[in-house]
Chain A
Amino acid sequence: MKKHAGTENRPCRSMLYIPGDSPGMIQHSPAFGADSILLDLEDAIAPSEKDAARKMVSTFLDSFDFGSLIVTVRVNPADSEYFENDLKEIVPRTPDAVRLPKCNEISDVRAADCLIAEIENDNGIPVGTVKLHAMLETALGIENAFSIAKASPRVAALTIGGQDLTADMGVQKTLEGWELFYARSRVVMAARASGVSAFDTVWTDINDIEGLAKESKQIAELGFTGKAAIHPGQIETIHEAFRPSPKELARAQRVVREAEIALHSGKGVVSVAGRMVDAPVIARAEHLIALSRLYDYEEDGGGLA
Chain B
Amino acid sequence: MPEISISKTASAGSVESSDCLVTVTPADSIEIDYSGANKKIFEKRTEAMTRAILAEYSVTAGRVHIQDQGAIEITLRARIETAVERALEARLP
Contact = CB atoms under 8 A, between A and B. Distances in A.
Direct interface between A and B, CB < 8 A: yes
Interface string A31-72: 000000000000000000001100110111011100000000
Given A23-B71, A23-B72, A27-B75, A59 B16 contact: no
Contact of B82 (A55, A60, A62, A63): A55
Nearest to A25: B18
Given A51-B82, A51-B85, A63 B74 contact: yes
Contacts of B19: 23-24
Given A56-B78, A60-B74, A60-B78, 10 more contacts: A23-B19, A23-B74, A23-B78, A24-B17, A27-B72, A51-B82, A51-B86, A52-B78, A56-B75, A59-B81
A25 to B, nearest CB: 8
A23 B75 contact: yes
Nearest to A27: B72
A60 B71 CA distance: 13
8 contacts: A23-B19, A23-B74, A23-B78, A24-B18, A27-B18, A27-B72, A52-B78, A59-B75
Which of under 10, 10 to 19, 20 to 34, or 35 or more describes the interface residues of B? 10 to 19
B77 interface: yes
Contacts of B16: 24
A24 B75 CA distance: 9
Interface in B47-93: 71-72, 74-75, 77-79, 81-82, 85-86
Which of under 10, 10 to 19, 20 to 34, or 35 or more describes the interface residues of A? 10 to 19
A30 to B, nearest CB: 13
A59 B78 contact: yes
Interface string A256-293: 00000000000000000000000000000000000000
B9 to A, nearest CB: 15
A56 B82 CA distance: 9
A204 B75 CA distance: 28
A60 B72 CA distance: 11
A104 B13 CA distance: 35
B12 interface: yes
Contacts of A64: 74
Nearest to A56: B78
